[in-house]
């Protein structure tokens, strides 16, 4: 992928799909899952999950998303949906643009606001990148009409070499009961991030 003059790579598990930010890939995946889902309660859950995903995608695109990928998989115990987006941000004048300041303001939809969330900030080290800021926890966002939803999130703030810009790698999922497993997966995926010609190590679904 290219971020202006700076290229980057990130590896997602084999059962994930790279999405076009216009949402066409999401529509195709939704239609495919509905064809495989005979009962109405499950079809309703699929439709709701994809409506939320489309809203997240639309908000992210408006706010500087340059890459998106994800998975929607039906297991015996229910639907698993998870996604990843990379945002390209330029520091606004006079604002806190530190990794901690940015992460605390950022949401999975690309909004720079942190209300209604429970998240913890840490400093991590990415192979080949060095120290980065990371925020993990639960976010609550409104999808319209007073209806809100919660998602597991991991935001990682990566400085762009030779630039004042940063990339924010945002991983998210509405599957709160498996949050710990998702954090492990998100950490593995984010750990494959590399600038330029560095080859990322493939992520696995664990």
CB 15 within 8 A of CB 204: no
205 assigned to some structural domain: no
Q: Which are the contacts of 116, defined by CB distance < 8 A and separation ≥ 6?
A: 139, 140, 141, 148
The mean pLDDT value of the chain amounts to 76
Which residue segment(s) compose the domain that 13 sits in?
2-191
- Looking at the predicted structure, is the pLDDT value of residue 114 above 70? no
CB 69 within 8 A of CB 83: yes
**Which residue carries 């998975």 as its tokens?**
71
Greater pLDDT, 165 or 94:
165
177 assigned to some structural domain: yes
Residue 34 — very low, low, confident or very high, per pLDDT cuts 50/70/90?
confident
Per residue in 2-16, pLDDT (tens digit) is 554 468 899 999 988
108 assigned to some structural domain: yes
34 assigned to some structural domain: yes
**What's the total number of domains in the chain?**
1
Residue 24 — very low, low, confident or very high, per pLDDT cuts 50/70/90?
low
Q: How far is CA 119 from the centre of its chain?
A: 15
204 assigned to some structural domain: no
* Distance, CA of 33 to CA of 24 (rounded, Å): 15
Greater pLDDT, 90 or 125:
125
* Distance, CA of 12 to CA of 82 (rounded, Å): 11
52 assigned to some structural domain: yes
Most confident range (mean pLDDT) of 6-10, 143-147, 173-177 is 173-177
CB 79 within 8 A of CB 73: yes
* Mean pLDDT of the region 161-188: 90
* Mean pLDDT of the region 136-155: 76
60 assigned to some structural domain: yes
* Distance, CA of 180 to CA of 21 (rounded, Å): 28
Ramachandran assignment for 23, one of left (phi > 0), alpha (psi -120 to 50 degrees), beta (any other):
left
Percent of the chain whose pLDDT exceeds 70: 63
- Looking at the predicted structure, is the pLDDT value of residue 26 above 70? no
Q: How many CB atoms lie within 10 A of CB 35?
A: 8
Residue 181 — very low, low, confident or very high, per pLDDT cuts 50/70/90?
very high
196 assigned to some structural domain: no
> Kindly report the CA angle at 64 between 63 and 69, in degrees rounded to 5?
105
Per residue in 45-84, pLDDT (tens digit) is 777 766 766 666 666 666 667 888 888 777 777 778 898 9
């Amino acid at each position: 992928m290219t971020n202006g003059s700076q290229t980057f790579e990130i590896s997602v598990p084999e059962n994930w799909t790279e999405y076009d930010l216009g949402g066409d890939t999401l529509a195709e995946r939704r239609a495919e899952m509905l064809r495989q889902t005979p009962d109405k309660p499950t079809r309703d859950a699929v439709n709701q999950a994809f409506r939320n995903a489309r809203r997240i995608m639309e908000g992210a695109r408006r706010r500087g998303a340059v890459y998106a990928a994800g998975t929607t998989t039906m297991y015996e115990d229910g639907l698993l949906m998870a996604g990843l987006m990379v945002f390209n941000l330029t520091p606004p004048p006079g604002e806190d643009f530190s990794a901690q300041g940015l992460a605390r303001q950022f949401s999975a939809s690309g909004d720079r606001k942190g209300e209604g969330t429970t998240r913890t900030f840490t400093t991590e080290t990415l192979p080949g990148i060095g120290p980065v800021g990371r925020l993990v926890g639960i976010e609550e966002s409104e999808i319209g009409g007073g209806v809100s939803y919660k998602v597991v999130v991991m935001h990682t703030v990566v400085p762009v070499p030779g630039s004042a810009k940063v990339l924010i790698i945002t991983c998210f999922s509405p599957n709160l009961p498996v949050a710990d497993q998702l954090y492990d997966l998100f950490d593995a995926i984010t750990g494959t991030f590399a600038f330029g010609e560095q080859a990322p190590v493939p992520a696995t679904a664990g």
